[in-house]
Amino acid sequence: MNFVASSGPISVIAGWGHALPDSCVSNQELMRRGVETDDEWIVTRTGIRQRYMAAEGEMTSHLAARAARAALAKAGRSSADVDAIILATATPDNTFPATAARVQALLGMEGGFAFDVQAVCSGFVYALSLADNFIRLGQARRVLVIGAEVFSRLLDWQDRGTCVLFGDGAGAVLLEAQDHAATEAKPRGILSTHLHSDGRGYDLLRADGGPGSTGTAGHVRMQGREVFRHAVTRMGEVIEETLAAHGLTGESLDWLVPHQANRRIIETLAERLGLPMDRVVVTIDQHANCSAASIPLALTVAAEDGRLQPGQLVMLVAMGAGFTWGSALLRW
């Protein structure tokens, strides 16, 4: 667990942005394309109404660079100001190098360092935690943290239990070091992050291929009900852990920004927290599950439409394959 130091740099979100492919595909459109499903099942079981899908040739790096440029513009910074890029993705352009290196080049950066993080749907929270550590330790002053996916490339269109669930997109934040005085009671920025994984869940949600096994990328395979159960339990636990670490209760939160895998999971979490749904950011209806991009997409949508206000307490919480899960508590 990382905690805000009593003094020294704290990581503040100075800019944010997102990018979506042009093509928006409704549930009805999936049915027209031959997926044996129906809109009512998808909406009632998941909350998903549509997803965006990358065009041929459109890759994770392209979406990531667009989101990063938007975050830089919002912060009034240029790529020359950035010390590091941490990109969370399960759908890299190539097996190697890291897609973050491609993004670095697309942004015209000639310095700094860039690497990918693979924690699937928890990737953005993992990346944010790493970036926060670099900033606290003084190894970087500004870090672009990006979640970007072209998850549609991993879907088996014959498997209706998974192919209706995912979409493509990217979200980015610029984390900036701000020195704060020990006397400051309510500093803005990341207050703590909490990361977990449990490899015993490896086979319950995975791609059935990989460069080191089949030589192919594989397709998404998921035991949905088991994953659902773990998602509710693990995210619930890490929310409690985070609140307890700060002596807070669910009611103290202004916003919960959860991973967007299933509206029913999100509603269960909110209910357990005693948090009304109008303090929970839900974008799954628009974007479906964009894996590592889900949380930064939801965060940037809520920031853009003015829901997030300076000084508010925001909890990010994620759960994904691995299993991985984690949270970040921040003051906006």
Nearer to ligand UT7 by Cβ, of 19 and 220: the residue is 220
Asked if 262 interacts with ligand UT7 (CB under 6 A), we say yes
Asked if 8 interacts with ligand UT7 (CB under 6 A), we say no
Asked if 265 interacts with ligand UT7 (CB under 6 A), we say yes
Alpha helices in 47-138 (DSSP H): 60-75, 99-106, 123-136
What minimum distance in Å lies between the beta carbon of 217 and ligand UT7?
17
Q: Which of 60, 99, 289, 327 binds ligand UT7 (CB under 6 A)?
A: 289
- 125 contacts 316 by C-beta, under 8 angstroms: yes
Site for ligand UT7 in 290-319 (CB under 6 A): 319
Q: In angstroms, rounded to a whole number, what is the distance separating the alpha carbons of residues 241 and 48?
A: 29
Q: Which stretch binds ligand UT7 (CB under 6 A): 110-118, 131-139, 260-268, 305-313?
A: 260-268
The question of whether 121 is a catalytic residue gets the answer yes
Chain Cα centroid distance, residue 150: 13
Would strands 205-207 and 50-53 be described as parallel, antiparallel, or unpaired? unpaired
H or E, element range at 301:
helix 294-304
Task: Map residue 68 onto helix, strand or coil.
Answer: helix
Q: Is residue 30 classed exposed, middle or buried when 0-12, 13-18 and 19+ CB atoms within 10 A define those classes?
A: buried
Asked if 154 interacts with ligand UT7 (CB under 6 A), we say no
Q: Which of 227, 243, 270, 301 binds ligand UT7 (CB under 6 A)?
A: 227
Q: In angstroms, rounded to a whole number, what is the distance separating the alpha carbons of residues 195 and 202?
A: 17
Q: Which stretch binds ligand UT7 (CB under 6 A): 18-26, 70-78, 247-255, 257-265?
A: 257-265
Point out which residues bind ligand UT7 (CB under 6 A).
Answer: 37-38, 41-42, 45-46, 121, 160-161, 164, 224-225, 227-228, 231, 261-262, 265, 289, 319-320
Instruction: Please identify every residue annotated as catalytic.
Output: 121, 259, 289
